[in-house]
Amino acid sequence: MNEKPATEKGNMKGKQIVVGVSGGIAAYKAAELVRLLVREEAVVRVAMTANATRFIAPLTFAALSGNRVISRMFDEGTGAIDHVTWGQDADLIILAPATANVVAKVAHGIADDFLSTMTLAATARILVCPSMNTRMYENPATQENVSLLQRRGIVVMEPGAGELACRDEGPGRLPEPSEIVEEARWILSDQDLAGLQVLVTAGATHEPMDPVRYITNRSTGKMGYAIAQAARIRGASVKLVSGPTSLAVPRGVDLESVTTALEMRQAVLKHFAGSDIVVMAAAVSDYRPHSTEGQKIKKGPETLAVELDRNPDILAELGQSREEKHCVLVGFAAETDDLLANAEKKLKDKNLDMIVANDVSREDAGFAVDTNEVKILFRDGKVETPPLMKKQEVADLVLDRAKTLWEARPRHGK
Ligand code: CTP
């Protein structure tokens, strides 16, 4: 395996991004968006409408982006053809927040200021993030404008719902800057997993003893969620079967929430047949209480024995039942000792194509942290030992390898 290690397929390093800010109360959130994009090492330029400059100073964006900000068509410092070159040099234009007025102007080709003229002349992909009063957003005029933009291949993010600055309740809130960045990653990625169905499991299961107690483990779901997110950004259609977690569902990922191992098994079996790549990152509880009490178990004798039943091994069942070549099957092995030997045994016993082994006794790898140092074992005996990486990088590496195995399958292109 001398391929390049993790590539972070949605990487925005060096990408040219223009953020177009228009005059809504959410304009302040665009500052955070610019900061996040700069942190991703994108080259960010900001164009503002005149109204936007009443909500937030151009200087803020100039400082955050390190580039000059244009808010007027004919200001000193605005080059004669900036309105053409900005949108043509860019990889992506993000209009955030996009007011009803800007949505309407872009939909109808109106070019009466720098921002709208630049957008009309652009060859870059465009991401529109509407933010406005609920009634303005729900007005058929805006809705039709949004549909028009979408029909032209412009990506429009659904605004968040909730209480707005104007005290109205409903859709109209600018999505969180981190969500906008995630959408931008998806647009800019090379979509190398497009057409593939990826099934990911994540998190721990809860095995109830009574209405208030359950058996679980320390898994937080971070690794599985990172894989689901990366697969979606790379164009796959992703189903995520997750035990209870506190993590946000990655954008564009179809979540099925479960609680127990038995529920997880049901959900996984339901989606297994249609999946091309299956990644079992969940920490499934191997045992469940033999019986679940209907009422809270009261304090009693000094010791209390709880009888446990073995849960089915979901991954082993998939490995044993799968038709040869139907999918690439990836397992995880959480170990505290004899990492390689234990992982290799699981790879063979469960009939997997690859297994990602991690030492969960380490502080910088395994549960609840953002980094992981894994070893990847393959069916043919090869072992890959990448360095300590962010979980997102591990996710991309795992998907890179799974994709290679998928492509090597004789029946690829089913
Ligand atoms: N797994 C599963 N169903 C179970 C237990 C585990 O599908 N009942 C899957 C996990 O999602 C993981 C792989 O099997 O992909 C290995 O899980 P792990 O907990 O490391 O190992 P176990 O097989 O449970 O073995 P042990 O607990 O004895 O180490």
Query: What residue spans of 157-244 are helical by DSSP H?
Result: 177-188, 222-233
CB burial of residue 25 (10 Å; 0-12, 13-18, 19+): middle
Which CATH superfamily, name and number, covers 16-163+170-188? Flavin prenyltransferase-like (3.40.50.1950)
360-407 per-position pLDDT tens digit: 887 777 777 888 889 999 999 999 999 999 999 999 999 999 999 999
Our answer on whether the CB atom of 43 is closer than 6 Å to any ligand 1 atom is no
Residue 348's pLDDT is what?
Answer: 97
Residue tagged 């503002």 (tokens): 48
Structure-token pair, residue 268: 């996984």
Of residues 202, 204, 199, 203, the one with CA closest to residue 254: 199
| Tokens standing for residue 325 | 């070549």
- pLDDT for residue 326: 83
Provide the percentage of residues in the chain whose pLDDT is more than 90. Answer: 85
Asked if residue 332 has its Cβ within 6 Å of ligand 1, the reply is: yes
Instruction: Please tell me if the CB atom of residue 280 comes closer than 6 angstroms to any atom of ligand 1.
Output: yes
pLDDT of residue 5: 39
Asked whether 169 and 137 are in contact (CB, 8 A), the reply is no
What is the residue type of 210? D
Which tens digit of pLDDT belongs to each residue from 209-220?
Answer: 999 999 999 999
| Closest approach atom of ligand 1 to CA 286 | 8
The answer, yes or no, to whether any atom of ligand 1 lies below 6 A from the CB of 314, is: yes
β-pairing, 389-390 with 371-372?
Answer: antiparallel
Instruction: Give the integer Cα–Cα distance in Å for 31 and 16.
Output: 17
pLDDT per residue over 156-186, tens digit each? 999 999 887 777 788 999 999 999 999 999 9
Q: Is 317 in the pocket of ligand 1 (CB under 6 A)?
A: no
pTM of the model: 0.91
Q: How far is the CA of 91 from the centre of ligand 1 (A)?
A: 43
Q: Would 16-163+170-188 and 197-287+306-408 be classified into the same CATH topology?
A: yes
Residue 155's φ and ψ, nearest 5 degrees, are -85, 125
Task: Report how far ligand 1's centroid is from the alpha carbon of 284 (Å).
Answer: 6
Q: What is the pLDDT of residues 41-55, one digit of tens each?
A: 999 999 999 999 999
Q: Which residue has the higher pLDDT, 76 or 88?
A: 88
Which are the catalytic amino acids? 166
125 Cα–ligand 1 center, Å: 43
| Residue ranges of domains in the chain | 16-163+170-188, 197-287+306-408
Question: Tens digits of per-residue pLDDT, 233-282?
Answer: 999 999 999 999 999 999 999 999 999 999 999 999 999 999 999 999 99
Cα angle value 395/398/404 (rounded, 5°)? 140
**What single-letter amino acid sits at 145?**
N
Tens digit of each residue's pLDDT (9 = 90 or more) over 300-336? 999 999 999 999 999 999 999 987 668 999 999 989 8
The Å distance, Cα 261 to ligand 1 centre, comes to 11
Does 77 score more than 50 pLDDT?
Answer: yes
DSSP code string of 121-132: H--SEEEEEE--
Superfamily of domain 197-287+306-408: CoaB-like (3.40.50.10300)
